[in-house]
A and B are shown apart, each in its own frame.
Chain A
Amino acid sequence: MAQVAIGLVNGAFYAMLSLGLAVIFGMLNVINFTHGAQFMMGALAAWLLLGILDVPFWAALVLAPLIVGLFGVIIERLLLKRIYHLDHLYGFLLTFGMALIIEGLFQWKWGSSGAPYPAPITGGTDLGFMIMPTYRLFVVVAALVVCLATWYGIERTRLGAYLRAATENPTLVRAFGINVPRLITLTYGLGVALAALAGVLAAPIQQVSALMGTNLVLVVFAVVVIGGMGSIMGSIVTGFGLGLIEGLTKVVYPPASNTVIFVVMALVLLVKPAGLFGQAK
């Protein structure tokens, strides 16, 4: 049971990251390979804020995503917006290059060994069947709230409606007087901020290091392939679901826990190539 709960924590990160990827892809048609690096930047920003400016975790939870999101906005304005008319492949390569630059620079500056971040909540909570560290419980709940809020924002608000409309037909939406390029920039900023927020949440659990997002983003790609990027709710459900499956695998056959998500991906490709929540084109 304990492993399953830990699986849920991983699932929380998968859900937040794949949600960000899906939001960005829907609007920009770019698979954001920099996502892992931006996750790391969130964690590192929180760590630096604490270490240098003595900013507590709760303030960093807001500040770090803002800083990293702003960085994302700058990148979108400077680079990404120039390549939307090209094949998806170029967006993939461009963001891959940026991930290399960011991770390389941070590794050079802070090394690749991790630094610990003190947990803001200590102690455990008795869930009846197990005692779970309260902080991890908080992470799961927080991720769930953030994911649902994003879903609500996109599916149920006016701004979200603009966003969905602009995804369908940007030219028409522009004709209605809505500033689509600005909407795109904001979307990228939001997606990046989600990654950074996941990073801040992960900081007290994992070691904060330049490479903490490198392998994670590859797993999240598999999550995205499994879920399909068509639906927001789909990303959330798939993320948490795969975290659970990974946790269960740790109980049944630990060595396979690294690879189980990729096996699930292969199975999904065999049975429903478009992904669990994707529409076949």
Chain B
Amino acid sequence: MTATGQRIVIAAFVAVLALVAPWVAYPVFLMTALCFALFACAFNLLLGYAGLMSFGHAMFFGMAGYFFGHVVKVWNMPPEVGLLAGVAGAALIGLVTGALAIRRQGIYFAMITLAFAQMVYFLCVQLPFTGGEDGLQGIARKALLGGLLPIKNDRVLYYVVLAIFLFGYGAIYRFIHSPFGQVLKAIRDNEQRAVSLGYEADRYKLLAFVLSAALAGLAGATKAMVLQFATLTDVSAAMSGEVVLMALVGGLGTIVGPVVGAFIIVTMQNYLASFGEFVLVIQGAIFVVIVMAFRKGLVGEISEWWKARRRAPATAD
């Protein structure tokens, strides 16, 4: 079979799997995993393609959840407005923090984003808007499309979430394969050269940061819609670490990797929930093992192995 043929078969298989999934597995679990997958993809857009490692992405994810909850529950608006508010709010936070963070590079960038996320976390603990320790609970699942599409049923909502995920994933795919994405990669690989070619590196980086923040916001708002609550967990530093882990497990800089990583980590958390603090220990151990031995992540290592296998018979001839 040709490489294209194989790709079509795999794509068809994944499409069928995605459509049938809610009838086989627990829909809420699938929806949570999809939200995290989008979140991880948004994070990976920044790290894998702009070379910017944000350790504070939870601020976009978690705040978008609060925005969604506030708009839908307190202002009593339809969920579409809530989603938009989540995306817009996250993008705005991304614009402010990003403009400051890109003034430093490398490891400082990671520390700055981490510090800003911690500031947002402290604000969330104190401000009445977030409901403090209780969070925003009981956000009603109101019908979409002006009442035409009720989402009380988990399976119906699953397809909505799948559509949102595909929209976000498609957007990321477009960014990466556009001239914008090419410039971004050029800046990642050699910033001085890109600047000398006349590209304003900071503007590109900031745009990538805002896009990544907005998509992380979309994921966070969608998660609040699914689970009907927004809490401090989603803005905490632990959540920022978790999304890094997802992208790392799947493979940084691969477009499918974060999705695979998100499903692995969410599944793992589901099964290990009863172990309490041990989940942290296991997550930490995964970090250590991957950094020490499998830096390309699951998808990266497999595609490497696949390429080597395809090459091998050719050299044998």
- CB–CB B53/A89 < 8 A: yes
Looking at the assembled complex, report how far the CB atom of A188 sits from the nearest CB atom of chain B, in whole angstroms. 16
Is B100's CB under 8 angstroms from A219's CB? Answer: no
A107 touches B277 (CB 8 A): yes
A85 to chain B, nearest CB (A): 12
In the complex, how many angstroms separate the beta carbon of B232 from the nearest chain A beta carbon?
A: 13
Residue of A nearest to B286 (CB): A97
B104–A97 touching, CB < 8 Å: no
CA distance A96 to B288 in the complex (A): 9
- Bound-state CA distance A82–B292 (Å) is 8
Segment at the B interface, from A5-13, A149-157, A234-242, A258-266: A258-266
CB-contacts of A224-281 with B (<8 A): 224-225, 255, 258-259, 262-263, 265-266, 269-270, 273-274
User: What does the 1/0 interface line of A94-131 toward B look like (CB < 8 Å)?
Assistant: 10111111111101100010000000000000000000
A219 to B118, CA, bound (A): 8
Find out whether the CB atom of A83 lies under 8 angstroms from the CB atom of B104.
no
Does residue B111 face the partner (Cβ distance < 8 Å to A)?
Answer: yes
A97 in contact with B107 (CB, 8 Å) = no
Q: Interface size (A, Cβ < 8 Å)?
A: 43
For A98, the chain B residues whose CB sits under 8 A away are 284, 287-288
- Do residues B288 and A101 form an inter-chain contact, with CB atoms below 8 A? yes
Among B106, B107, B285, max chain A CB count under 10 A is at B107
In whole Å, how far is A155's beta carbon from the nearest beta carbon of chain B?
Answer: 24
State the Cβ distance, B208 to closest chain A Cβ, in Å.
Answer: 17
Contact of A265 among B112, B277, B292 (CB under 8 A): B112
1/0 per residue, CB under 8 A from A, across B94-122: the answer is: 00000011011011101110111011001
Counting CB contacts under 8 A, is B195 at the interface? no
Interface residues of A (CB under 8 A from B): 31, 79, 82-83, 86, 88-90, 92-94, 96-105, 107-108, 112, 214-215, 218-219, 221-222, 224-225, 255, 258-259, 262-263, 265-266, 269-270, 273-274
Question: With A100-B283, A219-B118, A262-B116 as given contacts, are A94 and B107 in contact (CB-CB < 8 Å)?
Answer: no
Chain A CB within 8 A of B179 CB = no
Residue ranges of B at the interface with A (Cβ–Cβ < 8 Å): 53, 55, 100-101, 103-104, 106-108, 110-112, 114-116, 118-119, 122-123, 125-126, 237, 241, 244, 248, 276-281, 283-288, 291-292, 295
Known: A94-B292, A97-B291, A258-B122. A88 touches B116 (CB 8 A): no
Across the interface, do A269 and B104 meet the contact criterion of CB distance under 8 Å?
yes
Knowing A255-B126, A259-B119 are in contact, say whether A94-B288 is a contact too (CB < 8 A).
Answer: yes
Does B281 lie within 8 Å of A93, measured CB to CB?
A: no
A79: B residues at CB distance < 8 A: 288, 292
Interchain nearest-CB distance for B214 vs A (Å): 21
Give the residue name and chain of the A residue nearest to B285 (CB).
A101
Neighbouring B residues of A265 by C-beta, 8 Å: 112, 115
Q: What residues on A are CB-neighbors of B283 within 8 Å?
A: 97, 100, 104
Given contact pairs A266-B100, A273-B104, A215 touches B115 in the complex (Cβ within 8 A):
no
List, in ascending order, chain B residues with CB within 8 A of A83's CB: 291-292
- Chain A min CB distance to B102 (Å): 10
Q: Which A residues lie within 8 Å of B101 (CB)?
A: 269
- The answer to whether B291 and A94 touch across the interface, beta carbons within 8 angstroms, is yes
CA distance A105 to B282 in the complex (A): 10
Give chain B residues whose Cβ lies under 8 Å from the Cβ of A88.
106-107
Residues of B contacting A105 in the complex (Cβ-Cβ under 8 angstroms): 277, 281
How far is B276's CA from A96's CA once the two chains are assembled, in angstroms? 19
- Which residues of chain A have C-beta atoms less than 8 A from B284's C-beta? 96-102, 104
Chain A proximity of B19: nearest CB distance (Å) = 36
**24 residue pairs from A and B, CB less than 8 Å apart:** A31-B110, A88-B106, A92-B53, A92-B110, A93-B291, A96-B244, A96-B284, A97-B285, A97-B291, A100-B241, A100-B283, A104-B277, A104-B279, A104-B281, A108-B277, A221-B114, A225-B108, A255-B126, A262-B119, A265-B112, A269-B100, A269-B101, A269-B112, A274-B104
Given contacts A88-B107, A218-B115, A269-B103, contact A258 B126 (CB under 8 A): yes
A127 to chain B, nearest CB (A): 31
For the complex with contacts A31-B107, A104-B278, A259-B123, 8 further pairs of A-B residues with Cβ separation under 8 Å are A89-B107, A93-B248, A108-B276, A112-B277, A225-B104, A225-B112, A258-B126, A266-B116
